[in-house]
Amino acid sequence: MAAAVYLVLLLLAAIFAPLVATHDPAELAVGKPFSGPAAAHWLGTDDLGRDLWSRLVYGARVSMKTGLQIIVLALAASVPVGLFSGYRGGKVDNVIMRIMDALSSVPALVLALAIVGVLGPGLTNASIAIAIAVTPGFVRFVRGQTLAVRQETFVEASHSLGTRERTILRKRILPNVASPLIVTVALASGAVLIAESGLSLLGLGSQPPESSWGSMLQRGYQVILTHPWQVIVPGTALALTVLAFNLLGDGLRDALGLGVPKAVGLRGRLGLTTVAPRPDLAPEAPATDGPAPLLTVSGLTVEFVTEAGPVTVVDDVGFSVAPGEVLGIVGESGSGKSVTSLSIMRLIPSPPGRIVRGSVVFDGRDLLTLPFAEMRKVRGNDISMVFQDPMTSLNPAYTVGNLLGEAVRLHQDVNRAGARARALELLELVGIPDPKRRLDDYPHQLSGGMRQRVLIAMALSSRPRLLIADEPTTALDVTVQAQILDLLRSLQAEFGMAIIFVTHDLGVVADLCDRVLVMYAGQVVEQASVTDLFERPRHPYTQGLLRAMPQVAGRSERLVAIRGTVPPPTALPAGCRFHPRCDHATDACRAEPVELLVRGDRPVRCVLSEELVP
Ligand code: SF4
């Protein structure tokens, strides 16, 4: 606070220099040369008898103005470049970073000297030179922050709504980069002032008779041995100002809670961008009875490229969803549920992820081959997503009204007032109490359940025909989970939309879904209607999941855990991927990969499925 007060006073003094200064800073012989501080000249006079206080005040004006120019120039160049580089990644990022590396390899002041050498001395040229010299640091900083923010779930959620990249950069990423950037700018301002004074000290910055702290230092330096006061005055002002900027930067960093690096979830660390379309054909999805499917996923195969080579994380997955149907995708963590659902939206991280085979046909069009602009229209309009953690899925820099209003305007031609009215309707629709007041709340002011309702409201803003809910109740307590499930059930009935519900909770599946897809180690192992699956599970993994599920009836029975864990995609066992955990495994199970075949009335990936019917 002290630093801020000092800087505000300095700024006011610089702005109102004619009122604060006691003399004209350029007027010669207003006093005896080299006179010390006195009532007539508070800080004494210089070698030409000019008033030092007045020169210091006007010098502050020049130095602050120059510092501001440099910062504005550097930000104008570095923010767009850093945002673009961090957001795009890949080759573009590589090229930009190598250029910044080359610029950074020369010390900033030396680089500035070289540029001034080319442009010629003068304050404007010095400003340009210093701006160029500090730009690589700013670019690196903005790019680093962008890399972190683009991995947040609320950016992923924006992609799923079909938001334009430009809007994501401007409204999702920039506001979240702004706070740490302000801190960095505050810390860099001191260095910029020193650089400007350094160039002026060398005679390359401000030129006589203009007064800046650097030019005052230059004159004082020539008489430092006989009249040190001439250096002490501008030197102290400069030192105090640099210290104030540094303290302000530190204070802002603490106040904004930026001192400790933020934790980013696994999905966040992976980063989420779109993947290039892969038109390869693949085996058809298992056929289902009933109306023509709204979505048909066939032979979907997704790889992640690691240092050891490509690793398949989703292997030949196929299923379909009819209009108005609720399909549950279940399995333990690592079974490939989330990658499958993200692949439908072409939102898997790339790199390292890539869809290598398959098709995702929605309403007659293969989403994997759609041009990017077309795919963006599908996201949010026809297919929406709700994510697991409502706190990280909502942009913390915007109010609920802004978030919902933007989602509405993205897909509907309405003005701000119309979007706000629609946002209010959506909040009422998802049962948020006192919706009018909540419109102006920020996500952190809402409870977990309310945040998830807001997320659902955003997903429903364009009345999608398919909602993909990726573990939307996992982060909520049991009571709120039940409320959210009730809400989804009633909204599904009201809108008639299809839902893909990704979960590891079979209780939720029983409650909400019509059909179930059981996944294990990246593969579908069983697919059935909810009734069939619960009454007659055929795959030993499904049977294990059901045995491990707490039930109200039969409380005295011990729950049976499936021993072991899901193997990582880098160490899949030969033969049936479930065999190390399966009580029924035989040599035949270990010998050959097991195909997903229709056994009896449903697709099951087990050689003993007929024998193991309970
Ligand atoms: Fe178990 Fe063999 Fe069936 Fe795999 S194929 S689930 S190991 S019985």
As a whole number, mean pLDDT of residues 508-528 equals: 88
SS3 528: strand
162 alpha carbon – ligand 1 mean position (Å): 41
Reference 37, options 26, 50, 53; nearest CA is 53
Token pair for 258: 């930026």
- Residues 606, 614: Cα–Cα separation, whole Å: 14
Model confidence at 9: pLDDT above 90: yes
Smallest CA-to-CA distance from 202 within 74, 69, 72, 110 is with 110
Q: What is the pLDDT of residue 476?
A: 65
The answer, as to whether pTM is greater than 0.75, is no
240: pLDDT strictly greater than 90: yes
Which residues are within 8 A (CB) of 428 and not within 5 positions of it... i.e. 6 or more apart? 435
Please give the number of the atom of ligand 1 that sits closest to the Cα of 576: 4
What is the 541 CA–ligand 1 centroid distance (Å)? 9
Inform me whether the pLDDT recorded for 285 exceeds 50: no
Angstrom distance (rounded) from CA 196 to CA 74? 14
Q: What is the mean pLDDT of residues 516-541?
A: 88
How far apart are the C-alpha atoms of 330 and 370, rounded to whole Å? 28
Q: What are the tens digits of pLDDT across the range 331-372?
A: 888 888 888 988 888 888 777 778 888 888 888 888 888 887
- Using CA positions, which residue lies closest to atom 3 of ligand 1? 606
State how far the Cα of 308 lies from the Cα of 311, in Å rounded to an integer.
8
**Predicted pLDDT of residue 258:** 54
- What are 354's strand-pairing partners? 303
Q: Which residues pair with 526 in a beta bridge?
A: 518, 604
Q: How far is CA 559 from the centre of its chain?
A: 40
Q: In the numeric block, which tokens belong to residue 426?
A: 């959506």
Q: Which of 246, 219, 243, 238 is nearest to 230 (CA)?
A: 219
pLDDT digits (tens, 9 = 90+) for 115-126: 888 888 887 888
Q: Taking residues 362-388, what's their average pLDDT?
A: 82
Q: Check: CB of residue 184 under 8 Å from CB of residue 250.
A: no
* Confidence band, pLDDT 50/70/90 cuts, at residue 260: very low
- Quote the pLDDT of residue 239: 93
- Residue of 73, 52, 25 whose CA lies nearest to 192: 73
* Ligand 1 centroid distance, CA of 603 (Å): 14
Percentage of the residues of the chain whose pLDDT score is greater than 90: 8
Cα(553) to centroid(ligand 1), Å: 29
SS3 137: helix
pLDDT at 518: 92
CA of 227 to the centre of ligand 1 (A): 92
Q: What whole-number distance in Å separates Cα of residue 169 and Cα of residue 166? A: 5
Q: Which atom of ligand 1 is nearest to the CA of 577?
A: 4
Verify whether ligand 1 is closer than 6 Å to residue 582 (CB atom).
yes
| Cα–Cα dist 490/472, whole Å | 16
Name the percent of the chain in helix, strand, coil, to the closest 5. Answer: 50, 15, 35
pLDDT at residue 276, rounded to an integer: 39
Cα(546) to ligand 1 centroid in Å equals: 17
User: Of 282-296, 390-404, 456-470, 509-523, which gets the smallest average pLDDT?
Assistant: 282-296
Query: Which pLDDT score, from 0 to 100, does residue 8 have?
Result: 93
> Which ligand 1 atom is the nearest neighbour of the CA of 539?
6
Q: Are 317 and 491 in contact (CB under 8 A)?
A: no
Looking at ligand 1, which atom is closest to the CA of residue 585? 7
Is the Cα torsion angle 66, 68, 73, 78 positive or negative in sign?
Answer: positive
The reply to whether ligand 1 has any atom less than 6 angstroms from the CB of 579 is yes
For residue 523, pLDDT beyond 80: yes
**Averaged pLDDT for residues 73-96:** 89
Cβ within 8 Å of residue 474, ≥6 positions away: 388, 503, 504, 505
pLDDT at 266: 30
Probe residue for ligand 1, chosen from 542, 586, 610 as the CB with the greatest number of ligand atoms within 8 Å: 586
Query: pLDDT class for 283, splitting at 50, 70, 90?
Result: very low
Which residue's CA is the closest to the ligand 1 atom numbered 5? 606
Q: What is the CA(336)–ligand 1 centre distance, in A?
A: 19
Which one of 104-118, 235-249, 389-403, 558-572 scores highest in mean pLDDT? 235-249
- End-to-end Cα spacing for the chain: 72
Contact 430, 456 (CB under 8 A): yes
Q: Is 608 in the pocket of ligand 1 (CB under 6 A)?
A: yes
Max distance between CA atoms of the chain, in angstroms, equals 111
**pLDDT tier at 264 (50, 70, 90 boundaries)?**
very low
318 has a pLDDT exceeding 70: yes
Using CA atoms, how far apart are residues 81 and 356, in angstroms rounded to an integer?
32
Dist. CA 539 → ligand 1 center (Å): 8
Ligand 1 pocket mutation pick from 538, 579, 610 by most atoms within 8 angstroms of CB: 579
305 in helix, strand or coil?
A: strand
576-593 residue pLDDT tens: 898 888 888 888 888 888
Q: Would you say 279 and 261 are in contact if contact means Cβ atoms under 8 Å apart?
A: no
Q: Residue 194 Cα, ligand 1 centroid: separation in angstroms?
A: 72
| Nearby residues of 122 by Cβ (< 8 Å), 6 or more positions away | 205, 207
Structural contact between residues 75 and 45, judged by C-beta atoms closer than 8 angstroms? no
Q: Which has more pLDDT, 310 or 151?
A: 310
**Nearest one of 236, 84, 80 to 147, comparing CA atoms:** 84
Phi–psi pair at 295, nearest 5 degrees: -130, 130
User: Greater confidence, 529 or 292?
Assistant: 529
- The pLDDT > 70 percentage for the chain reads 91
What is the distance of C-alpha 570 from the center of its chain? 28
Does ligand 1 lie within 6 Å of residue 317's CB atom?
A: no
| Ligand 1 atom closest to the CA of 579, numbered from 1 | 7
Pick from 338, 337, 326: nearest CA to 488? 326
DSSP label at residue 168 = I
- Structure confidence at residue 75 (pLDDT): 92
Contact 518, 525 (CB under 8 A): yes
Hey, how many other C-beta atoms are within 10 angstroms of the C-beta on 490? 13
Strand order in the sheet with 523-529: 383-386, 466-470, 498-503, 326-330, 515-520, 523-529, 602-604, 597-599
